Amino acid sequence: MGLRDVFKPKPNKFLLMLVNQTAITVKGLDLLIHYLKKRSSNVAKQIVETENEAVEMRRIMIEELMNTFITPFDREDIFALSRDFDDILRYSSTTVEEMEILDVTPTPQMQKMAELLAEAARELHLAVMRLQDKHYAVATEHANTAKRIENQVETTYREAIAQLFQETKDVKHVMNVFKIREIYRHLSNAADRQDQAANVISDIILKIA
């Protein structure tokens, strides 16, 4: 270890936790993409396990928040950001769980929404990393990009719902429509949480930059 390393400031533990949480969120959404390309009970299990891992991370963070007097920014913002990332994975997990229970076949729109969610998650991951190294302008750019991608998810959601009801032919098909709509709603809710996370990041930067 050199002299420079001795005096180099240590990364803040809360920012490290958030970086790790965003990384596992990206992992979960990549698994969701894989699942929606080809339904697999094994991949579904991996998604649930990934969510459980993220939940454990969040529990540790909450305990650390309770036991720490000084935080790098408002503890409410740390809590909110962690909660939003947790919700993103939770909706990914419930998407898969309900598809398994209801025996829903993936649609191209589901695949597109999942790909956009993963893209936005990567932007949020980069935003938190830039928060960590104090490149706040770059963090803002990544957060704004995530918000733009969220708008694309919502557009895809509305188009998918419209197409779904236009193709309704009979009562039997209506039941399937409601099943598929529920899956779309889970994916849309995940996008909403990404938008909230991006807003929290922007708020943090306004307070500390």
Q: Assess contact for 114 and 12: CB atoms under 8 A.
A: no
Q: Which residues, 6+ apart, have CB-to-CB distance to 19 below 8 Å?
A: 125, 128, 129, 132
Model pLDDT for residues 76-127, shown as the tens digit of each residue? 999 999 999 999 999 999 999 999 999 999 999 999 999 999 999 999 999 9
Q: Which residues, 6+ apart, have CB-to-CB distance to 142 below 8 Å?
A: 123, 124, 126, 127, 130
Domain that includes residue 130, residue range: 3-208
* DSSP type of residue 10: P
- The CA distance from 61 to 40, in Å, is 32
Q: Residue 22 pLDDT > 90, yes or no? A: yes
For the entire predicted model, the pTM comes to 0.91
Long-range contacts, stretch 97-102, CB < 8 angstroms, 24+ apart: 97/44, 97/48, 98/182, 98/183, 98/186, 99/39, 99/183, 100/39, 100/41, 100/44, 102/179, 102/182, 102/183
| Cα–Cα separations (whole angstroms), residue 180 to 11, 84, 138 | 44, 24, 38
Q: Assess contact for 111 and 185: CB atoms under 8 A.
A: no
Model pLDDT for residues 162-209, shown as the tens digit of each residue? 998 887 676 667 888 899 999 999 999 999 999 999 999 999 999 887
- Tokens 């001795």, residue? 6
Return the CATH number at 118: 1.20.58.220
Q: Assess contact for 156 and 112: CB atoms under 8 A.
A: yes
Number of domains in the chain: 1
| Cα–Cα separations (whole angstroms), residue 146 to 38, 126, 133, 208 | 26, 10, 19, 21
Model pLDDT for residues 116-165, shown as the tens digit of each residue? 999 999 999 999 999 999 999 999 999 999 999 999 999 999 999 999 88
